[in-house]
């Protein structure tokens, strides 16, 4: 009986040991699996020849770069807003292209810093680096051209006081900057630019001969802008007698808007060779002469006094008049039926002179009627000579 009890106890102990051994093996397998999984997670990940080591490092780099870009953009915007308020110069609008491209540069920098953590063939890595540089150069060219154009537009607007629409300068700036970017891209791609220069020289000669008139207009437009004798917003008169505001100076033509709201389109070369009367130079104000005639029976001192009263009133009350200008009259001739003189007024802009003359004539005519001053009709005195009567005498 005792032997059986000992045998039973021994059997239970053996079974317990076997179960513990089985559990220990299972735990060992689980630990190896967990260790392998952990090693793969924190160590290396392979996918078709591409190996990524330490994912947490590039993730941290990308996070820091984007956070830094956001902070830099925020600080940059706040600083520009403060400078704009202090200097009254719209720096926030001028530097808007740079603010927009900051995140693009952050993406490019993130990819560049991520490359050391990716095991890829060396030739593919070189291709990626060159592609990143090319994208950076193109984005820099775009932002730089936009920045320069905004600065030039602001400068011209400040000098002229008008919204400028000079597409010629914009085209010229973009051509120069993108040509420089193209040369840099060729250098990045390790391409010899000497054959391109030779090709461009021959092609430039052929294009110059074929586009002689176009190039003449282009350089004439540059000359007009650099001379600053005609600019958008100026009121000019052409040799043909047509008048209007300069709307735009582009790479081939100049557009003029007449007071009838029609457009006159003139090639730049023809405009540069023409005689132009610019009413906005040296200043926009101009003198306006209004011819008037009164009867020979009029008291000229009284006519002068009344006319000057009307002229002063129109200068101070009319929106096109110059309030501090002293008008004058100058008698100039004895006409066939009247004594003629000119009334000298002052107008703020050439385009408003017709309305100023219109209102002045209405007021002067009304005042002359009230004062009994006669504006005579054309008169001819005809003497009839009787030749038959002379013969009889």
Q: Is 45 exposed, middle or buried (0-12, 13-18, 19+ CB in 10 A)?
A: middle
Binning pLDDT at 50, 70 and 90, where does residue 199 land?
Answer: confident
Short-list 170, 175, 172, 110, CA closest to 136: 110
At 217-242, the pLDDT tens digits run: 878 887 887 777 888 888 999 988 89
More confident: 302 or 21: 302
**Can you tell me which residue has the tokens 């007698």?**
241
The Cα 281–Cα 278 span in angstroms is 6
Short-list 176, 171, 278, 265, CA closest to 218: 171
Binning pLDDT at 50, 70 and 90, where does residue 173 land?
Answer: confident
Give backbone dihedrals phi and psi of 375, rounded to 5 degrees, phi first: -105, 105
Binning pLDDT at 50, 70 and 90, where does residue 45 land?
Answer: very low
Contact 238, 274 (CB under 8 A): yes
- Sorted by sequence, the CB contacts under 8 Å of residue 137 that are 6+ apart come out as 181, 184, 185, 188
More confident: 196 or 247: 247
Residue 217 CB coordination number (10 Å): 23
The neighbouring-strand residues paired with 52 are 45, 118
The Cα 197–Cα 191 span in angstroms is 12
* pLDDT at site 89: 62
- Which segments of 1-50 does DSSP mark as H helices, in order? 2-42
At 71-124, the pLDDT tens digits run: 776 766 666 666 666 666 666 566 666 767 777 777 777 777 777 777 777 778
* pLDDT at site 361: 95
The Cα 297–Cα 290 span in angstroms is 21
Distance of CA 131 to CAs 110, 111, 126, Å? 14, 11, 9
The pair of structure tokens assigned to 324 is 């501090």
At 249-276, the pLDDT tens digits run: 887 889 999 988 899 999 998 998 889 9
Contact 42, 54 (CB under 8 A): yes
């Amino acid at each position: 009986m005792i032997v059986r009890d000992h045998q039973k106890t021994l059997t239970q102990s053996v079974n317990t040991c076997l179960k513990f051994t089985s559990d220990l093996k299972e735990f060992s397998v689980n630990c190896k699996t967990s260790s392998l999984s952990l090693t793969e997670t924190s160590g290396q990940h392979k996918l078709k020849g591409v190996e990524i080591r330490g994912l947490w490092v590039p993730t941290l780099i990308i996070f820091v770069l984007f956070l830094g870009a956001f902070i830099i953009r925020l600080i940059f915007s706040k600083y520009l807003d403060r400078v704009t308020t202090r200097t009254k110069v719209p720096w926030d609008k001028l530097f808007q292209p740079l603010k927009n491209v900051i995140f693009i540069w952050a993406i490019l920098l993130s990819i560049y810093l991520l490359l050391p953590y990716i095991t890829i063939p060396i030739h593919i890595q070189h291709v990626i680096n060159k592609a990143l540089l090319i994208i950076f150069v193109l984005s820099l060219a775009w932002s730089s051209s936009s920045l320069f154009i905004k600065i030039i537009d602001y400068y011209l607007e400040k000098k002229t006081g008008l919204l400028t629409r000079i597409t010629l300068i914009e085209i010229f700036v973009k051509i120069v900057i993108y040509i420089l970017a193209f040369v840099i891209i060729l250098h990045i791609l390790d391409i010899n630019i000497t054959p391109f220069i030779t090709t461009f020289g021959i092609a430039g000669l052929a294009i110059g001969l074929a586009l002689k008139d176009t190039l003449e207009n282009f350089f004439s437009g540059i000359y007009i802008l650099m001379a600053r004798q005609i600019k958008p917003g100026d009121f000019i008169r052409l040799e043909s007698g047509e008048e209007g505001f300069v709307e735009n100076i582009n790479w081939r033509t100049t557009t003029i808007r007449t007071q009838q709201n029609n457009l006159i389109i003139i090639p730049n070369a023809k405009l540069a060779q023409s005689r132009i009367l610019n009413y906005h130079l040296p200043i926009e104000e101009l003198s306006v002469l209004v011819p008037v005639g009164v009867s020979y029976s009029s008291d000229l001192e009284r006519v002068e006094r009344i006319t000057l009263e009307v002229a002063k009133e129109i200068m101070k009350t009319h929106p096109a008049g110059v309030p501090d200008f002293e008008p004058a009259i100058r008698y100039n001739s004895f006409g066939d039926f009247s004594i003629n003189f000119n009334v000298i007024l002052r107008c703020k802009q050439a385009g408003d002179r017709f309305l100023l003359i219109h209102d002045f004539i209405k007021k002067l005519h009304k005042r002359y009627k009230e004062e009994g001053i006669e504006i005579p009709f054309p008169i001819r005195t005809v003497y009839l000579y009787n030749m038959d009567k002379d013969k009889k005498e």
